[in-house]
Homo-oligomer: A and B are copies of this chain.
């Protein structure tokens, strides 16, 4: 097994376990066992559990961000509000395929670690701010096209919708139904982003 594939197996196992059980509740033994790699390999690649946790976050963002940035929210062929809708609908399809379990690993780690680990908090804050900036860019474009009123503060709106989405995902996990996500989208597009 190559070095890169061992490292990636550890990251993938970590991501799955963190989504299932959270960061603190996942043990190193469990991670190496789930990755199917020798225990010693963990400390060959990662200096500590925190180092590993931050690498899992980076790994997740590196997979998802290019798809979100270029194909979903950055696709200039598609009208900006439709791009936002596409983003949420792709998210819904993914969450539904996972039977409303797991949710958003960034939101989960934020909930768990924001108060406990300042390094994690900073990394999660940057990730969420970056993600929000993609929403802001879409909303700004929608505003320039006249699809939302010119007097709206798009920074405030984009934060509102980013956090509302995370809240709807959290509720989905509790109700084990897609209803919170569908209700989020219906109010968002009918009330919040109406012209």
Contacts and interface: CB of A to CB of B under 8 A. Distances in A.
Contacts of A159: 171, 179-180, 183
Nearest to A185: B160
A184 B160 contact: yes
Copies of this chain held together in the complex = 2
B111 A156 contact: no
Interface in A98-144: 101-103, 107-108, 110-112, 114-116, 121, 124-125, 128
Interface in A1-30: 20-22, 24-25
Given A107-B111, A108-B111, A167-B167, A156 B186 contact: yes
Chain A interface SS verdict (over half)? helix
A115 B124 CA distance: 22
Contacts of A101: 115
A39 interface: no
Interface string A137-165: 00000000000000000001101101111
24 contacts: A21-B24, A21-B116, A107-B170, A108-B111, A110-B170, A110-B171, A110-B173, A111-B111, A112-B112, A114-B174, A114-B176, A121-B174, A125-B174, A157-B187, A159-B171, A159-B183, A160-B184, A162-B167, A162-B171, A163-B180, A163-B184, A165-B167, A167-B170, A192-B192
